[in-house]
Structure 1
Amino acid sequence: MTSDNPQFAAYAPAPGERQPPVAAVVAGAVEEDVPVLAALQARARGGSAGEWAQRIRRALDAERSLVVTARVAGEVVGYANVAFLSAHAPVGYYLTGVTVDPVWRRRGLGRLLTEWRMEWVWGRGEPVWCFVSAENRASLDLHRELGFERVASGPSFQGVAFACGEGWLLRADPPSQGRRRKSSM
Structure 2
Amino acid sequence: MNHGALTALQGRRMRQRIRVRPGIDQRSLDGGVPEYAVLMLIREATSDDLAAVEDLCDASDRPRWTAAMIAQSEHRVVFAAVSDDQVVGVAKTHFHPEPDGAAPAGHYLGGVVVTPNSRRLGIGSALTAARLEWIWAQSPSAYYFANEHNTASIQMHEALGFRPRGRFKEIRGVTADDGQAELILFEVSR
Coarse TM-score class (shorter-chain normalised): 0.7 to 0.9
Give the share of equivalent positions with the same residue, in percent: 30
- The reply on whether 1:26 has 2:42 as its aligned counterpart is yes
TM-score (norm 1): 0.75
More relative contact order, 1 or 2 (CA 8 Å, 6+ apart): 1
Q: Deviations over 1:25-74 (max 9, x none)?
A: 10001110011102211221344xxxx242x4244155411110000121
CA contact (8 A) 2:90 2:113 kept: yes
CA contact (8 A) 1:44 1:99 kept: yes
Distance (Å, rounded) in 2 between the aligned partners of 1:122 and 1:46: 29
Alpha-carbon distance, 1:143 to partner: 0.7
**Pairing 1:82-93 to 2, within 5 Å after superposition:** 82-86=93-97, 88=100, 89-93=103-107
Alpha-carbon distance, 1:77 to partner: 0.4
Distance (Å, rounded) in 2 between the aligned partners of 1:76 and 1:34: 10
Q: Which moved further from structure 2: 100-109 or 77-86?
A: 77-86
Q: Which runs of 4+ in 1 moved over 3 A?
A: none
Q: Which residue of 1 aligns with 2:182?
A: 166
Distance (Å, rounded) in 1 between the aligned partners of 2:37 and 2:108: 26
CA contact (8 A) 1:31 1:57 kept: no
Equivalent position to 1:155, from 151, 169, 177: 169
Alpha-carbon distance, 1:21 to partner: 6.0
Change (3 A) 1:135 1:21: farther
Gaps of 5+ in 2: 1-21, 24-35
Equivalent position to 1:106, from 120, 132, 135: 120
Q: Give the CA RMSD over aligned residues.
A: 1.8
Task: Determine which structure has the larger strand proportion and give its number.
Answer: 2
- The reply on whether 1:57 has 2:68 as its aligned counterpart is yes
Alpha-carbon distance, 1:155 to partner: 1.2
Larger radius of gyration: 2
**Pairing 1:1-80 to 2, within 5 Å after superposition:** 16=23, 22-47=38-63, 52-54=64-66, 56-80=67-91
Distance (Å, rounded) in 1 between the aligned partners of 2:125 and 2:94: 18
Alpha-carbon distance, 1:22 to partner: 3.5
Distance (Å, rounded) in 2 between the aligned partners of 1:130 and 1:117: 12
Distance (Å, rounded) in 2 between the aligned partners of 1:58 and 1:110: 18
- The reply on whether 1:130 has 2:168 as its aligned counterpart is no
Q: Which letter does structure 1 place at the counterpart of 2:186? A: L
Equivalent position to 1:120, from 114, 126, 134: 134
Q: Which letter does structure 2 place at the counterpart of 1:168? A: I
